[in-house]
Structure 1
Amino acid sequence: MVPLKAVVFDLDGTLINSAIPFKEMKRKIISYLQSNGVTLGLLNEEMLTIEILRLAVEDLQRKGFSEKQIANTLTQASKIMNEVELQSADNATLIEGVPETLKALKRQGLKLGVLTRSCHEYTEKILTKFKIAKYFDAVAARDDVNQPKPNPEQAFYLLKLLGVDAEETLFVGDHWSDAECARQAGLRFVYVGAMQGNEKVCGLGYKSVNNFSEVLKVVNDI
């Protein structure tokens, strides 16, 4: 097996307990999209944000909206997401064991990165707030790429920043989109949290740990 050179982490739910009110965010996005041409009733807050935006784009394309109009609509939707994220940052909490684990991984000479669907400004604010920014060599946020995870573009962008190959990298996350991104990009992956009831992740066959502190053992066993 190729030696491990880097470990990259999801942010919300993996490094921190997020305070982002996702349903409120989705309601605001849906309301904005509907007021700008998207069919009423097409979208709902139970959908993933990426699905909401995909369906909105397809709907607007069918209705003959120009690419420029659609791009402007997506830009405004992204601003709504950014605002909600930034407003929630003060209420986020750090997951137990994160600083100690990051410090231990850096001592082993590994490069560390953050791969998140949150915006870059929010990500930097969170890393600074909890004094863990010093451990990371690079960050790839939602607004750093055209296609965020689970699309592999975001992972490839982060790998380039870190100067490592996919097979040399372990991705640690807590969501199906993390696992799917890892699969498409060719990254190793470990899921943090209970696999039970998460059929999408189970079906990908990745290793799981119950809590963040166990990540170090996974790395040491590679």
Structure 2
Amino acid sequence: MKSFAPHAIFFDLDGTLVDSVPDLAEAARRMLAELGEPTRTDAEVATFVGKGIPMMVERALTVGRGPVSAERLAQAIPVFMRHYEATNGKLTRAYPGVAETLPVLKARGLKLGVVTNKAEAFIAPLLDELGLGGFFDVLIGGDTLAQKKPEPEPLWHACEQVGVSREAVLMVGDSGNDALCARRAGIPVLLMTYGYNEGVPVDTEDCDGLLSSFTELPALLA
């Protein structure tokens, strides 16, 4: 695999830095129970993650079950948000190597950021709960801008926020959504093999390399 010489690295959150499915699934189950809908397993919810909360809620309601009205979806989203506020960070864990590797990257003088489709309100509390918040110079959520991944604007906005040109950035994610965002933004991208990727094999995605462990990242940096 080729090496990279970035001045900044931007990470996806769910499926890249943290395994958040247990909390997301519990919030989804509470939402479904409150709405009188059938429940979902953790494995099902794992395939719903990646395009932001509205899409995840819609998938929880509809996949294998048929469509719902726009009104029903609009009713369900705030219910999920309320329950996720209660579950966020309770069962989520950083993936192996993340807590050990982030300080190594910071020690090299790199700017670090999170660019995720998770709603912005949930990002900092989750990172702080896991003791990771102090490593990041910028946090971009799915509702920070009018556009979210796979549109390129969130990555470009992150570049502007840390004062680094697009040519000096690396994206690290776990899904085709991350890869497409980076491609559209003109930024190289590495994908973790342990993430979610909506049930699609990650080795089928257009990216610049695959990592099976977070600890492999520093060795790829020139």
Q: TM-score, normalised by structure 1?
A: 0.71
Q: For structure 1, list consecutive stretches of 5 or more residues without a partner in the other structure.
A: 33-44, 57-69
Contact 2:88 2:122 in 1 (8 A): no
Matched, 1:215 2:217: yes
- Any idea what the Cα deviations from partners look like across 1:162-192, whole Å, max 9, x if unmatched? 1112221111111111111111111111111
Determine the structure 2 residue equivalent to 1:182.
182
- Per-residue deviation, 1:159: 1.5
Mapping 1:8-157, distance limit 5 Å: 8-18=10-20, 19-22=22-25, 25=28, 50=51, 79-86=78-85, 87-157=87-157
Question: Could you tell me how far apart the structure 1 residues matched to 2:130 and 2:103 are?
Answer: 13
Question: Could you tell me how far apart the structure 2 residues matched to 1:77 and 1:159 are?
Answer: 34
Question: Could you tell me how far apart the structure 1 residues matched to 2:50 and 2:95 are?
Answer: 24
Q: In 2 relative to 1, CA 183–81 (structure 1 residues): closer, same or farther, beyond 3 Å?
A: farther
Q: TM-score, normalised by structure 2?
A: 0.71
Runs of 4+ in 1 over 4 A off after TM superposition: 26-29, 45-53, 72-78, 197-201
Query: Aligned partner of 2:165: which letter?
Result: D
Q: In 2 relative to 1, CA 177–201 (structure 1 residues): closer, same or farther, beyond 3 Å?
A: farther
Contact 2:50 2:117 in 1 (8 A): no
Q: Which structure: greater helix fraction?
A: 1
Structure with greater Cα Rg:
1
Query: Aligned partner of 1:108: which letter?
Result: R
More moved, 111-120 vs 146-155:
146-155
- Any idea what the Cα deviations from partners look like across 1:36-77, whole Å, max 9, x if unmatched? xxxxxxxxx876674975xx9xxxxxxxxxxxxx8x998766
- Per-residue deviation, 1:101: 0.9
Contact 2:9 2:111 in 1 (8 A): yes
- Greater length-normalized contact order (CA 8 Å, ≥ 6 residues apart): 2
- Per-residue deviation, 1:204: 1.1
Q: For structure 2, list consecutive stretches of 5 or more residues without a partner in the other structure.
A: 36-44, 59-69
State the identity as a percent. 28
